[in-house]
Amino acid sequence: MNSMMLIVSLMWMVPVQPTPDERAMDYFDVYAERQDFARLMSFYADEAVLEDMVYGHYAEGKSEIRSFLDWSRGAFRVVGGGPALSLSSLVSDGNTVVAEGHFRAFEFEGEPLGPWRFVIWLEFDDAGQITRQTDWINYTPRRNYLGGENRNEAVKE
């Protein structure tokens, strides 16, 4: 009997790794609140890649991702307050999670922007960190977000 109680007690002490869905929900919760940039960055593996297909940006490694997402760059305010984004669906398969939603209307440096619909593809490693993020964001006004790197050049046939 005592050995059974010991086994049950030890089971409670073993940390449970969150699922990719849970990690993705935590990531988007932190992103939506837009208060703790260090915590947002903690979701990324050191060698993670972020590719923004519409904007034409490719960031390799946590340092480049940090520079690209940099929340301290410019004055940001969600119109009407509240979270910066809203999710409408989350689909997963193994370590891959695809989220659909929108960034709420906001002001950046006094310019009104959004709402912007998005599809964000996240790939997680076994430790629960993002190793690859692919963004498809419907940026508007379009004229402000064209002219980035042609990401089609990455296609190898």
Q: What is the domain extent for residue 63?
A: 17-147
The SS3 assignment for 37 reads helix
pLDDT at 144: 76
Q: Report the number of distinct structural domains present in the chain.
A: 1
Q: How far apart are CA 137 and CA 102, in angstroms?
A: 9
Q: How far apart are CA 80 and CA 65, in angstroms?
A: 28
Q: Is residue 64 part of a domain?
A: yes
**pLDDT, tens digit, 9 for 90 and up, residues 63-111:** 999 999 999 999 999 999 999 999 999 999 999 999 999 999 999 999 9
Q: Is residue 127 part of a domain?
A: yes
Q: Is residue 1 part of a domain?
A: no
pLDDT at 110: 94
Model pTM above 0.95: no
- And the tokens for 149? 């790197």
Q: Is residue 157 part of a domain?
A: no
Contacts 24+ apart (CB under 8 A), 98-106: 98/122, 99/24, 99/28, 101/28, 103/137, 104/78, 104/79, 104/80, 105/78, 105/79, 105/80, 106/76, 106/77, 106/78, 106/79
What CATH number should be reported for the domain holding residue 76?
Answer: 3.10.450.50
More confident residue, 54 or 36: 36
Q: Is residue 11 part of a domain?
A: no
Residue 62 CA, chain-centre distance (Å), reads: 13
* Phi-psi category of residue 94: left, alpha or beta, with phi > 0 → left and psi -120 to 50 → alpha: left
Give me the mean pLDDT over the 9-23 stretch. 77
For residue 81, which amino acid is it? G
Q: Is residue 71 part of a domain?
A: yes
Give me the mean pLDDT over the 33-60 stretch. 96
Q: Is residue 6 part of a domain?
A: no
